[in-house]
Amino acid sequence: MKKLIALVAVCMVTALVIPVFGEDANEPAPKGKKIMITGIVNAVKDKQGELVEVIISDRVLEYNVVIDAKGKELGALKGKFAKVIGIAKIENQVKWLTVLRFELAAKQSF
């Protein structure tokens, strides 16, 4: 019985410690669902040349990209086909994607 209790205690501690050390402590984890989308990147700049909007869309879905460091990097791929992994969430009926990583993808026919 003591071995079972010790095993359960070790599992509980491991389950609590792994998420803490698995993420970058300096960045708050965005809340939402982790997804992958492969599609066309569209970027819009204002008159001063500042990036104001990045959208990635496939045949069915369209996500507004959060304009942070990774979002700006993705915006540089305007008109390209990319595979993007990020955290998706819906705010005020708008789909947002916080980019975790991305890469150029082979273009697929729509």
Number of C-alpha atoms within 13 angstroms, CB side, residue 77? 20
Residue 107 scores a pLDDT above 90: no
Strand bridging mode 81-91 / 33-45: antiparallel
The predicted pLDDT at position 106 comes to 85
The confidence score (pLDDT) of residue 1 equals 57
d(CA 101, CA 74): 9
Instruction: Tell me, yes or no, whether 71 lies in a domain.
Output: yes
Helices (H), the chain: 2-22, 69-75
- Local confidence band at 31 (pLDDT 50, 70, 90 cut-offs): confident
pLDDT 10s digits, 46-102: 999 999 999 999 989 999 999 999 999 999 999 999 999 999 999 999 999 999 999
Does residue 21 lie in a domain region? no
CATH code of 62's domain: 2.40.50.140
This model's pTM is above 0.85: no
Range of the domain at 62: 33-104
Q: Does 7 map to a domain? A: no
Query: What digits encode the pLDDT tens for the residues 8-27?
Result: 444 443 443 334 334 443 44
At 109 the pLDDT is 54
Total structural domains within the chain = 1
